[in-house]
Amino acid sequence: MHLTKDEERVYDGESGWAGQTCMRILVRLGELFGAEKLIPIESAHVSGVSYKTLGDAPVDFLKALADAGGKARVETTINPQSFDLDYLAKKLPARIRRKQMEILKQFERMNVAPSMTCTPYYLNTPKRGSHLAWAESSAVVYANSVLDARTNREGGPSALAAAIIGKTPDHGMHKAENRLPNVLVNVEKPLRNETEFGALGIHLGKVLGDGVPLIRGLRGASESGLKQLGAALAAAGMTNMFHTDAKAARLKDAQKINVGPQDVARTIESLTTTSTQKPDLVFFGCPHCSMNEIRRIAELADGRKMKPQMECWVCTSRHVKKRMMPEVKRIERSGFHVLTDVCTVVSWTETLGIKTIMTNSAKTAHYAPTLNKADTILAPLEECLKTAFRG
Ligand code: F3S
């Protein structure tokens, strides 16, 4: 890999241990993937923030980087942590709270904003064509496919290294030729809601490998539907980008995949692991809710009251919550908790006694049986609300 004189100096340790370690991570990765050089990035987004999923070991590395003066040189955001400060924090043991706050402190010391959301694009939308180093897989697919920015699916350490160096290796989705579609997907019947978009993503993620699909049949898809599709695609496979009819590209001799309504229905069925209709938790906000999604939940929830003992969470970013306070209040009057900084999958649901989760998100339904040791019920928003409310 070719390094500039300045990059070489950082590689040799002239700017200190933090810069040297980060540069070495990036060069190692670049060489592994055949990159010829590093390219500047507009922003970084780091995953591996929740103490629940991170555990103890990586905290020493974060602390060492912060102690050595590692600082983000570009705008850098981080993924959700394992609780919110107002509601869930009070239900958890002090030890967990302390450990989580220790992780967040290290990011803060490195000039990383306490954004704690998986939808950094609602906070600052990347420019079209800009290069990013993002680690949250749902955000990676969204950035590449919906925003036309360019990012590989980074790991937490490589995204942090890129944040501190301000550059990333030039390979994969940063190169125009790797962004061209090579699989043609035909969705036979229009999808009706965000849950069906997510189910399509899970179904395709399992068969696409790391292919870049051109998906036909999604004309008029909502932003929310595309977000669910991308999050699920990334959860079930290695795809980092999709194209839709709207930006149809020429595609010759490509593999063709047909998706019928029965494939979507079967996927939804397979993501429901229990026959009970009595979940312990009804959850929306995977990925974190947009302003439009908060508005929609507020409209549907208005004036209704939740069943007693039902736990219901709507997860979003601080940024979106702050801008939607009237709607947030309407949702909360119904009995929901509108939580920031956290999501169900990376939270301590087992510690809270949650055994069955009902959600409209295929990504959560895909992960919850393993990461939350919970049964799942996957259903569209309206059906989830019907379950949550007293008639
Ligand atoms: Fe975001 Fe958590 Fe889903 S990080 S994409 S809400 S699993």
34 backbone φψ class: left, alpha, beta (φ>0; ψ -120 to 50): left
The reported pLDDT for the residue numbered 57 is: 85
| Ligand 1 center to 276 CA (angstroms) | 24
Q: Which atom of ligand 1 is nearest to the CA of 80?
A: 4
Q: What residues contact 252, with CB distance under 8 A and at least 6 apart?
A: none
Please tell me the distance from the alpha carbon of residue 349 to that of residue 372, in angstroms, as a whole number: 6
State yes or no: pLDDT of 239 exceeds 80: yes
Tens of pLDDT, residues 137-157:
999 999 999 999 999 999 999
Is-contact 257 207, C-beta < 8 A?
yes
Mean pLDDT computed over 168-181 = 96
Mean pLDDT computed over every residue of the chain:
96
Mean pLDDT computed over 48-56 = 94
Tens of pLDDT, residues 245-269:
755 556 766 789 999 999 999 999 9
Please tell me the distance from the alpha carbon of residue 136 to that of residue 240, in angstroms, as a whole number: 11
User: Among 19-23, 32-36, 251-255, 356-360, which stretch is predicted with the lowest mean pLDDT?
Assistant: 251-255
pLDDT band, residue 116 (cuts 50/70/90) = very high
Is-contact 188 259, C-beta < 8 A?
yes
Mean pLDDT computed over 268-288 = 96
Q: Which atom of ligand 1 is nearest to the CA of 288?
A: 6
Mean pLDDT computed over 203-214 = 94
Please tell me the distance from the alpha carbon of residue 248 to that of residue 3, in angstroms, as a whole number: 37
| Ligand 1 center to 118 CA (angstroms) | 6
What residues does ligand 1 touch, defined as CB less than 6 Å away?
79-80, 118, 138, 231, 286-288, 343, 345-346, 363-364
167-169 and 38-40 strand pairing: antiparallel
User: Among 170-174, 218-222, 343-347, which stretch is predicted with the lowest mean pLDDT?
Assistant: 218-222
The reported pLDDT for the residue numbered 343 is: 96
Substitution site in 118, 194, 290 for ligand 1 pocket (most atoms within 8 Å of beta carbon)? 118
pLDDT band, residue 389 (cuts 50/70/90) = very high
Please tell me the distance from the alpha carbon of residue 56 to that of residue 91, in angstroms, as a whole number: 21
The reported pLDDT for the residue numbered 254 is: 79
Half-sphere exposure of 89 (CA within 13 A, CB side): 13
The reported pLDDT for the residue numbered 276 is: 87
State yes or no: pLDDT of 391 exceeds 60: no
Substitution site in 54, 138, 320 for ligand 1 pocket (most atoms within 8 Å of beta carbon)? 138
The reported pLDDT for the residue numbered 249 is: 58
- Burial degree of 271 (CB within 10 A; 0-12, 13-18, 19+): buried
The reported pLDDT for the residue numbered 308 is: 86
Q: Which helix (H) or strand (E) holds 103?
A: helix 94-109
pLDDT band, residue 309 (cuts 50/70/90) = confident
Q: Does the pTM exceed 0.95? A: yes
Q: Which of 170, 138, 181 is nearest to 47 (CA)?
A: 138
| Ligand 1 center to 36 CA (angstroms) | 33
Mean pLDDT computed over 3-7 = 98
Substitution site in 141, 227, 364, 372 for ligand 1 pocket (most atoms within 8 Å of beta carbon)? 364
Mean pLDDT computed over 39-63 = 95
Beta partners for residue 312, in sequence order: 282
State yes or no: pLDDT of 120 exceeds 90: yes
Instruction: Count other Cβ atoms within 10 Å, centred on residue 176.
Output: 9
Mean pLDDT computed over 364-391 = 94
User: Among 27-36, 65-74, 243-252, 312-321, which stretch is predicted with the lowest mean pLDDT?
Assistant: 243-252
